[in-house]
């Protein structure tokens, strides 16, 4: 993420002598964008405002990231590596995979940084079809495909969709609608409520 080469494919190559400064500027833009998107949502955040916060010319954001939507997706990428998360779910007895998945999901959602990006992705996906498409591509690549590959079951893609439906709905009801009593459950109570659902979606008969 900090490497200039990971910026959008439309950007011109940069001389290596400029890299430290460019890398710092890029990080400053990402910080400003993260705050703006978190505070105001996708729709109400403008590149002009992000550029002003970061103290850079707006054209530089286009140069680094290509578009507002691509900047958003870069900002909202999960702050963890799927290859570090997935073994915590997939390794071990399949009879207990639902509880392990619930533990990992709840631990991630109780981290304000991860939860903030999850809520940001949901907000954006709900706002317009183009953002929904990019969010779907991001979560498919970063989360759903690694999990489905690790499951190794014929209908793994559907199972992963069902798991996602329960987790996305939990985020919506607990953290966005803040409906009680679900918003008041402890992590342990939440894990107990989710584990059997995820167990069935992951490895038990679903049709």
C-beta closer to a second copy: residue 27 or 179: 179
Shortest gap between Cβ of 205 and a second copy (angstroms)?
Answer: 9
Shortest gap between Cβ of 64 and a second copy (angstroms)?
Answer: 27
Distance CA 100, CA 158 (A): 19
Would you state the structure tokens that stand for residue 137, as one six-digit string?
């591509």
C-beta closer to a second copy: residue 86 or 132: 132
Shortest gap between Cβ of 184 and a second copy (angstroms)?
Answer: 9
C-beta closer to a second copy: residue 22 or 134: 134
C-beta closer to a second copy: residue 56 or 190: 190
Cβ-contact 76, 57 below 8 angstroms = no
Interface residues with a second copy (CB under 8 A) are 41, 43-44, 122-123, 125-128, 132, 135-136, 140, 144, 157-158, 161-162, 164-170, 172-174, 176-182, 185, 189, 192-193, 196-197, 200, 206-207
Shortest gap between Cβ of 87 and a second copy (angstroms)?
Answer: 24
SS3 string of the chain? CCCHHHCCCCCCCCCHHHHHHHHHHHHHHHHHHHHHHHHHCCCCCCHHHHHHHHCCCHHHHHHHHCCHHHHHHHHHCCCCCHHHHHHHHHCCCHHHHHHHHHHHHHHHHCCHHHHHHHHHHHHHHHHCHHHHHHHHHHHHHHHHHHHHHHHCCCCHHHHHHHHHHHHHHHHHHHHHCCCCCHHHCCHHHHHHHHHHHHHHHHHCCCC
For the chain, the farthest-separated pair of C-alpha atoms sits apart, in whole angstroms, at: 59
C-beta closer to a second copy: residue 9 or 207: 207
Shortest gap between Cβ of 128 and a second copy (angstroms)?
Answer: 7
Shortest gap between Cβ of 179 and a second copy (angstroms)?
Answer: 5
């Amino acid at each position: 993420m900090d490497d200039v080469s990971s910026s959008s494919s439309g950007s011109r190559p940069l001389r290596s002598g400029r890299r430290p400064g460019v890398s710092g500027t890029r990080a400053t833009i990402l910080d400003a964008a993260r705050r703006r998107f978190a505070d105001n949502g996708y729709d109400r955040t403008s590149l002009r405002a992000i550029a002003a916060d970061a103290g850079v010319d707006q054209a530089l954001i286009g140069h680094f990231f290509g578009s507002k939507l691509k900047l958003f997706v870069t900002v909202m990428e999960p702050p963890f590596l799927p290859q570090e998360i997935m073994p915590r779910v997939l390794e071990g007895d399949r009879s207990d995979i639902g509880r392990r998945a619930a533990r990992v999901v709840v631990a991630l959602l109780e981290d304000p940084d991860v939860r903030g990006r999850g809520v940001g992705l949901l907000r954006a996906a709900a706002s317009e079809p183009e953002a929904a498409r990019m969010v779907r591509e991001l979560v498919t690549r970063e989360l759903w495909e690694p999990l489905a590959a690790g499951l190794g079951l014929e209908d793994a893609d559907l199972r992963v969709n069902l798991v996602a439906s329960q987790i996305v709905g939990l985020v919506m009801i607990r953290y966005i609608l803040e409906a009680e009593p679900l918003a008041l459950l402890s992590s342990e109570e939440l894990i107990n409520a989710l584990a059997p659902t995820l167990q069935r979606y992951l490895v038990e008969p679903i049709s």
